[in-house]
Structures are given as structure tokens and as C-alpha cells.
Amino acid sequence: MRAFISYSLVDRELYIISLLSKKLRNDGYDLQSRLDLHSHTLDFNTRQKISSSQLFIGIISYNGLQRNRVLQEWQYATNNKIPAVLLIEENVQIAPGADRNSYIRFNRHDPQPAIDKIQQRMSSKKDNEEAAGWILAGAALLAIVALFSSSKK
């Protein structure tokens, strides 16, 4: 299975992506991400990578500078029916019209609500086409929230 990872993090938080990548590779995922992290357009290669993935994972932290890029890639994944999860730190502003059920908010200082929501989504997806992606990535997503909660802001 292929997973596309998109993130907006500061340098001191990049270890989270390394640990997530290791966990997903151990679970059998072939990982992909955007090559040009500074481009403001959704290029052909990125669209191809997202389209060929069975799971999209997006992560936006408060201090990250690439929020719009991650949101653009996530929107492309959801528009193309790619199972997607977007983790957004609570204090990050997003468009007021965004569907609150389509992303998961997390709080570094109180990770339990996000953990509960991820577990709820994992169990609700068991009987549909997104099940494999969610079940395999669920533990990794839980680990991400735990890692953020142990990092300093």
C-alpha cells in the first residue's frame, strides 16, 4: 500500500515525521511526499503521487509555515476519494466553512480527545473501503498525537 504524507511543521518537530515514516514502513506502506516543499502550486508529480496512494496523512502544527500547501494537497486527496486524515493543532486557524468531521484537532497539552477521535474513526471504518488504510495507520496516528503532546511548544 502507498501512503502520501504532507506536513507543516517546524524543524524541531520533523522527528515526528521520521518516527511516523518508520512505523508506516514497518506496517508495509510505501511512503511518498512532495519533492518541492516550497512551491505554492499543486504540480503534476504531487497529484500523481497522491492519486496513486491508498492513504493520505496531513499534519499541521501551529508553528508550521506550509499550512496552505498541506490543505491544498489534502483537498486534492479528498476530492479524488483517497482515504485521508488531517491532524490540525487546535490553535491553527482554518477556513470557517471547513467540515469539522473531515479533520481531527489535537492539543499538545490534552491529547486524549484526539486519541479518542482517532480510535472512534478506526472502529467506524472497519466495514468500509477505507478500513485497510485506517487500521494500518491508526497506531501511527495515535503515536503522532502522543509525540506532539510530549514535545515542547
List the pLDDT tens digit at each of the 153 positions of the chain: 888 989 888 777 777 778 778 877 887 888 888 877 667 788 899 999 999 998 898 989 888 888 889 999 999 998 999 888 888 888 888 766 566 667 888 887 887 788 788 777 766 665 555 555 666 566 666 667 776 766 654
Rounded Cα gap, residues 125 and 123, in angstroms? 5
Nearest to 135 by CA among 18, 54, 68, 78: 54
* Dihedral Cα 86, 24, 13, 88, nearest 10 deg: 10
Task: Record the cell numbers describing residue 55, joined without a space.
Answer: 492513504
pTM for the predicted model, two decimal places: 0.79
